[in-house]
Structure 1
Amino acid sequence: MACSDSKVDLWTIPLVALNMTVRKKLGLYLNPRNTVAADWMAVAEAMEFTYLEIKNYEHFENPTRKVLENWQARSSDATVGKLLSILTKLERNDIVEDLRSLIDEDVRKYSDNLKKKSEPPVQVPEVDSCFPRSHERYAITREDDPEGAPELFDAFICYCQSDFEFVHEMIRELEQTDYRLKLCVFDRDVLPGSCVWTITSELIEKRCKRMVVVISDEYLESDECDFQTKFALSLCPGARSKRLIPVVYKSMTKPFPSILRFLTKCDYTRPCTQHWFWVRLAKALSLP
């Protein structure tokens, strides 16, 4: 099953590509119990959820959203193509037809973001007489040796500029103590002049064992943080490698991002657990 306006194979596009608008509309179609057409229970059964799991989902206000979140967390087969195939097999062509344009738009945006990581900025073939000394993916951090191995890190820190004070505290607690962890902080470690999307993807995928996501209200408004999070999630379906670690350090007025709700978070806002906060985080980042 391919995207109607491109050659994108929807079976290779993870479910995280679908934004909240599509997920809400799916809930409007599937949440109401229906004796004639297949509802969310039939979809959950087709996704191989057990009877007890489905019964537990009945208690949620939006069971469709919960089913989609847990499906994408537990299954590497949770793709846009698979979802459309399930809806088609359950004869919910009305949903497929009504939402197809929105789904194709989400897929296009997701694919464009992934392409940005591999496409260098547009420029003339030759700007001066200097021969390029290094490939764009090398010599991208302060300690990189163009002639040797690339610099590696224990964790990539995904953050907004408004949360930079907490990132400084993270550096003090994790790098300048006995933990001796090595964090990749973009504003500190990455050399200027390279394509942001290309370098970010390179660091997350190949240079850093894990990614710490600093969650705040401002994080929810950041397109850059949204891309980094979705890209990292696509590398570890079902969170099997414990690659993403959400961190909450201050109270939020907006809901916690649903895409990360299935992950165990480090919560610095609870006074009763602050004593263990840095120990837990350091231990998680120290794992192989």
Structure 2
Amino acid sequence: MACVDSEVDLWSIPLVALNVTVRKKLGLYLNPKNTVAADWTAVAEAMGFSYLEIKNHEAARSPAQSVLENWQARSSEASVGKLLSVLTKVERKDVVEDLRPLIDEDVRKYCESQKKLSELPLQVPEVDSCPPRTPEKIGITLYDDPEGAPELFDAFICYCHSDFEFVHEMIRELEQTECRLKLCVFDRDVLPGSCVWTITSQLIEKRCKRMVVVISDEYLDSDACDFQTKFALSLCPGARGKRLIPVKYKPMSRPFPSILRFLTICDYTRPLTQDWFWKRLAKALAQPASHS
């Protein structure tokens, strides 16, 4: 297992870098009441949670994970470095030492994904009498007009190919009904021949008001979905503006992704609420974009 570069500033690495394995193991260490060592309540107090907030987290299946996700959602100071500092402060160096290899691996993967973004080629203006061309002047979607305004969408759909049948249903319910929403479905709308990372990040950040994340067991194994989700989260720390909307459309045998657990989901697996599912999702996507 490769270690993170020693020059990486862990205080600048957001908590979204930590995947489900680290979060589950934190729970295994911190959830049990311990008369000798500090448990999750001491960690929550060191993070700035009040007594009543800590009591409310007791009902969670994994209080330690629940606190971590809440902290990530509400605090601009929440980072990998700050987490390690908190664990050290409450004298849980045992947790830091045991989990450090896994944390370093998650940070390494996160830094690699960020590096891919930073290495995207810059568009160099042509040296001639014509107006300079910018990336937005280049057609990247099927109905882009290179000489006009770029094509815009209500939502980018993050999905893996095994879930494409549900994406087709989403298109029927949200585009081909009175909802009249405009979805960005990569395999349908994006022109071939461009760098996937470049186009994906540009669409999510500049062309789409929101992103719908189709959650399934297969989603958890998709590098592309992982990149898209973390990139979108990095644009809206604390989930301000309701930019991400997780959708669960079939039962899962694996845990729901921890980095999305603090967001309200649209759950298609509950028979009692299926009649409201598409109306709720359409209403959320039709809301004006927030610039907060």
TM-score range, shorter chain: 0.7 to 0.9
Which amino acid in the other structure matches residue 101 of structure 1?
P
Contact 1:119–1:198 (Cα < 8 Å) also in 2: no
The structure-2 alpha-carbon separation of the partners of 1:152 and 1:164, relative to structure 1 and needing over 3 Å to count, comes to same
State which drifts further: 133-142 or 275-284.
133-142
Answer yes or no: is 1:234 the counterpart of 2:237.
no
Q: How do residues 96-175 of structure 1 correspond to structure 2 at under 5 angstroms?
A: 96-120=96-120, 135=135, 138-175=138-175
Across the aligned residues of Structure 1 and Structure 2, the Cα RMSD in angstroms comes to: 2.4
Percentage identity across paired residues of the two chains: 81
Q: Is the 8 A contact 1:74 1:238 kept in 2?
A: yes
> Which stretches of structure 1, 4 residues or longer, exceed 6 Å deviation after superposition?
none
User: Which consecutive residues of structure 2, in runs of 5 or more, have no partner in the other structure?
Assistant: 122-132
Q: Give 1:116 deviation, angstroms.
A: 1.6
Offset from partner CA, 1:151-192 (integer Å, 9 cap, x none):
211100011112112211211221122222111000011111
The answer (yes or no) to whether the contact 2:18–2:103 under 8 Å persists in 1 is yes
Counterpart in the other structure of 1:195 = 195
Any idea what SS the aligned residue of 2:55 has? helix
Q: Which residue does the alignment assign to 1:285? A: 285
CA distance in 2, matches of 1:261, 1:34: 26
Deviations for 1:34-86, whole angstroms, at most 9, x for unmatched residues?
Answer: 34432211110011112122223334453212211221122222211111121
TM-score normalized by structure 2? 0.85
User: Where does structure 1 lack aligned partners over 5 or more consecutive residues?
Assistant: 122-132
Deviation at 1:135, TM superposition (A): 4.3
For 1:255 and 1:95, the matched residues in 2 are separated by: 22
Aligned amino acid, residue 82 of structure 2: K
Deviation of 1:120 (Å): 4.2
Q: Which residue of 2 aligns with 1:38?
A: 38
Per the alignment, residue 76 of structure 1 pairs with 76
Report if aligned partners of 1:117, 1:199 keep a CA contact under 8 Å in 2.
no
Maintained 8 Å contact 1:38/1:91: yes
CA contact (8 A) 2:153 2:182 kept: yes
Query: 2-side partners of 1:134 and 1:28: how far apart?
Result: 50
**For structure 1, which segment, 51-60 or 213-222, has the greater mean C-alpha deviation from structure 2 after superposition?**
51-60
Which stretch of the first structure deviates more once superposed, 207-216 or 89-98? 89-98
Alpha carbons 1:117, 1:200 under 8 Å: kept? no
Q: Aligned partners of 2:217 and 2:242: how far apart in 1?
A: 24
CA distance in 2, matches of 1:21, 1:255: 10
| Residue in 2 that maps onto 1:10 | 10
Is the 8 Å Cα contact of residues 136 and 150 (structure 2) preserved in structure 1?
no
* Mapped partners of 2:21, 2:266: distance in 1: 28
What is the number of residues matched between the two proteins? 276
CA distance in 1, matches of 2:208, 2:21: 32
Q: Distance in 2 between matches of 1:116 and 1:147?
A: 29
Q: Partner amino acid for 1:199?
A: I
The DSSP-based 3-state class of the residue aligned with 1:43 is helix
CA contact under 8 A between 1:118 and 1:198: conserved in structure 2? no
Q: In structure 2, do the counterparts of structure 1 residues 270 and 5 end up closer, same or farther at CA, with 3 Å as the change threshold?
A: closer
* Paired AA for residue 223 in structure 2: D
Q: Report how far residue 263 of structure 1 moved.
A: 1.6
Please state whether the residue corresponding to 2:241 is helix, strand or coil. Answer: coil
Instruction: State whether residues 16 and 259 of structure 2, in contact with CA within 8 Å, keep that contact through their aligned partners in structure 1.
Output: yes
What is the CA–CA distance in structure 1 between the aligned matches of 2:258 and 2:177, rounded to whole Å? 33
Counterpart contact for 1:144–1:150, Cα < 8 Å: yes
